[in-house]
Amino acid sequence: MPKQDFSISLLVNANKTFDRQLIQGIGDYLRLAQCSWDLYIEEDFRCRLNNVHAWAVDGIIADMDDPEIARSLAGVTIPVVGFGGSYHDPAQYPEQPYVASDNVAVVEAAYQHLKAKGLQYFAFYGLPPAERCRWAHERELAFVERVRSEGFSCTVFRGEPTAGDRWHYSQNRLADWLQNLPRGTGVLAVTDARARHLLQLCERLNLLVPEQIAIIGIDDEEMVQSLVRTPLSSVRQGCQQMGYLAARMLHRQMQGLPLAKDHPLVGPDAVLERASSDYQPLSDPYVMQALHYIRHHACKGVKSEQVCDFVGISRSNLERRFKAVCGHSIHFALHHTRLERAKSLLDEGKLATAEIARLSGYPSVQYLYNVFKKDLGMTPKDYREQQSQVA
């Protein structure tokens, strides 16, 4: 009977969503295949490569995007499965079996999302060349080629590595680039972390997101979402599926079974559309400014008069423009924004109804209940229960 109880080492640095979700995929495989593996990973989920050739393990799953990990595994005789980004040049893949996130497919998903919004100018905010960031160059190459294949131009800015002593300098250079982009540009950031730079600077520079600059990142990084005022659209990679495949491939190797593919590609899970890329090709600059103000201030309880004061034109003038461009009133836009915020907070299921009413801009819980009954035919409690059943 083949051996089932294996000792496995995970060489990952789980400070990234990519690696954390991949570990979840490995766990999915272990549960479904009913494997009782002895898994070794550092308690702080960091990777330390001390004398890896002497480790008494039966197999290794490793992040091959990290060049130090890849080099440390050269010549290892036990089964190894790597994971990381895909490469346009097959010679770039490691010698071991390797599960790759399909960078071309990830970028394609982002491009199609931006294009579907009616954008005709495109830009890419990447990373400077570095051995441990080869995946960033692959994404840049794929995006530029895809945009230009349809006759559009694509501006690229790589910026600098993030460093505390050069933070303000690097942000000023990024600001110069941003200010020179045509209004109505769709920007793909190579990661959500880089997309956060863009969102912060757009706010500082009074560039309206998404009305003037639409932004989408890659990773669906929860920590980034908590640090930005404008919810960030993002492409979620198929990391859990990658982890599942990596564990299955390693299991087959250790059992002496053949592999179907040495380098399977895994496409993205989904495009998570949020406010940062919800671009609408509006010709009226007053309506554009008003919608931006509503997006950021509706849940603070502002009224139509305050929107008009911000834009700087009369109520009757702005109402007329709203009806012509959007087909509804300023009040409806405020109401819709608050309601969507309340629904989103109810979906998360973490806050009490009174707190949700306050954060959504409603004067009381009773007011929130009245809105839900009138618009949705149910109470906030009913809505939350319905959504939990769907999930």
Has residue 384 got a pLDDT over 80? Answer: yes
Has residue 387 got a pLDDT over 90? Answer: no
Has residue 107 got a pLDDT over 70? Answer: yes
Q: What is the chain's mean pLDDT, rounded?
A: 92
Task: Say how far apart CA 88 and CA 68 lie, in whole Å.
Answer: 22
Provide the CATH number for the domain around residue 340: 1.10.10.60
- This prediction's pTM: 0.85
Give yes or no for a contact between 364 and 357, defined as CB atoms under 8 angstroms apart.
yes
Q: Which domain holds residue 118?
A: 103-237+272-277
Range of weakest confidence among 199-203, 214-218, 247-251, 321-325 = 321-325
Over the stretch 129-154, which tens digit does the pLDDT of each residue have? 999 899 999 999 999 999 999 999 99
Provide the CATH number for the domain around residue 137: 3.40.50.2300
Residues 126 and 215 reside in one and the same domain: yes
| Domain end point (choices 251, 277, 303) | 277
Give yes or no for a contact between 388 and 348, defined as CB atoms under 8 angstroms apart.
no
Task: Say how far apart CA 128 and CA 220 lie, in whole Å.
Answer: 22
Residues 58 and 113 reside in one and the same domain: no
Residues 79 and 117 reside in one and the same domain: no
Residues 232 and 246 reside in one and the same domain: no
> Residue 385 class from Cβ within 10 Å (0-12 exposed, 13-18 middle, 19+ buried)?
middle
Q: Domain total for the chain?
A: 3
Has residue 2 got a pLDDT over 60? Answer: no
Over the stretch 211-236, which tens digit does the pLDDT of each residue have? 999 999 999 999 999 899 899 999 99
Does some domain include residue 353? yes
Q: What is the mean pLDDT of residues 263-284?
A: 93
Give me the pLDDT at residue 391, please: 60
Q: What is the mean pLDDT of residues 300-316?
A: 94
Task: Say how far apart CA 259 and CA 279 lie, in whole Å.
Answer: 45
